[in-house]
Amino acid sequence: DGDGMIRPVTPHRVLDTRIGHGAPQRKLGAIHFARLQLTNRHPLPSSATAVLLNVTATNTTRDLYVTVWPSGRAMPNTSNLNVRAGATVANLVLCELGPDGQVDLASPVSHVDVVADVVGYVG
């Protein structure tokens, strides 16, 4: 209802590159990014303006980072997860939605499998 409050939801998987859920079955990289349609899909209503995601990076071979940003914008020079080679790292990410209700995810440095679960939204 537009009050800026985060509305928690039962975790709902929207991306798993290991099995091709939400994006092609391939690791994310600088060229291979994922665009996720989040509004008008369970559990986000069309009124959502931002999403709260639990994002996990796994199957790494070198140090890297993962970035999440609103679709329709240039990829920022910031990271949401910093991952050491061989590690699996998760982080809670609050991201504004693009005007089309989508977010983009990429790993600009190296390839990595990414899993994302919606755990809440604003709007």
pLDDT of res. 45: 92
Give the pLDDT band of residue 104 (cuts 50, 70, 90).
very high
Provide the H-helix boundaries in the chain.
Answer: none
Q: What is the DSSP letter of 40?
A: T
Q: Do the Cβ atoms of 70 and 80 come closer than 8 Å?
A: no
Instruction: For residues 112 and 120, give the distance between their C-alpha atoms in angstroms, rounded to a whole number.
Output: 24
pLDDT of res. 3: 79
3-state secondary structure of 43: coil
pLDDT of res. 41: 85
**Strand 81-83 to strand 102-106: parallel, antiparallel, or no bridges (unpaired)?**
unpaired
The count of other CB atoms within 10 Å of the CB of residue 100 is 13
Q: Do the Cβ atoms of 14 and 6 come closer than 8 Å?
A: no
pTM given for the model: 0.93
Mean pLDDT of the 65-83 span: 95
User: Would you call 32 exposed, middle or buried from its count of C-beta atoms within 10 A (0-12, 13-18, 19+)?
Assistant: middle
Instruction: For residues 49 and 55, give the distance between their C-alpha atoms in angstroms, rounded to a whole number.
Output: 18
pLDDT at 86 over 70: yes
pLDDT at 1 over 60: no
